[in-house]
Amino acid sequence: MPPEAPQTGHAARVGATPPAAFLRLETLTKRADFQRASRAAHVATPGFVLQVRKHGADETATADIRVGFTCSKKVGNAVARNRAKRRLREIARLALPALGKPGHDYVLIGRKGATASLPFAQLQADFARALAKLHART
């Protein structure tokens, strides 16, 4: 059972971030979803590439925000790829509930030598900028 949101105190103020259990995003798992996203709009940043695709009317997908993560072997060995994907998952978890649009798929692609080594604050700022740029296009 997920933790309840606090009713009093500084964490209960309006606009406070809900418990982590409520911030879970639907994850893309099917190859076809990743391929459709690869043909959609994208923005490259120093730390990652962000692809955004609006769900089609013919899709049976829900109106939720869906997100996928990928890192090729160019990023490094399994340890490096997993570290890069953990960082990408965290920036998506923090930003997409507030900045993402329902009915969209987001795919974050890790970049060699940058995703795992750039400062986390820079990755977050790049992600917010990339989202704003892509949402302005669509």
Per-residue pLDDT at 11: 54
Worst-scoring range by mean pLDDT, 8-17, 20-29, 79-88, 106-115?
8-17
Q: Which domain holds residue 77?
A: 24-137
Per-residue pLDDT at 8: 66
pLDDT over 50 at 21, yes or no: no
**Could you give the count of Cα atoms lying within 13 Å of 117 in the half-sphere of its Cβ?**
8
Q: Is residue 10 part of a domain?
A: no
Per-residue pLDDT at 81: 94
User: 104-110 and 48-54 as β-strands: parallel, antiparallel, unpaired?
Assistant: antiparallel
To the nearest 10 degrees (0 to 180), the angle between helices 78-99 and 120-137 is: 50
Quote the CA–CA distance of 57 and 72 in Å, as a whole number.
31
> pTM higher than 0.85, yes or no?
no
Number of domains in the chain: 1
Q: What is the pLDDT of residues 24-70, one digit of tens each?
A: 678 899 999 999 999 999 999 999 999 999 887 766 656 688 999 99
pLDDT over 70 at 113, yes or no: yes
Quote the CA–CA distance of 41 and 125 in Å, as a whole number.
19
Q: Is residue 1 part of a domain?
A: no
Task: State the CATH number of the domain containing residue 106.
Answer: 3.30.230.10
Q: Cβ distance 106 to 65 under 8 Å?
A: yes
Per-residue pLDDT at 16: 54
Q: Is residue 16 part of a domain?
A: no
Q: Tell me which amino acid residue 50 is.
A: L
Rounded to 5 degrees, what are φ and ψ at 69? -135, 140
Q: What is the pLDDT of residues 1-20, one digit of tens each?
A: 556 666 666 555 555 555 54
Per-residue pLDDT at 64: 83
Q: Is residue 7 part of a domain?
A: no
Q: Is residue 14 part of a domain?
A: no
Q: Is residue 122 part of a domain?
A: yes
Q: Is residue 37 part of a domain?
A: yes
Q: Is residue 15 part of a domain?
A: no
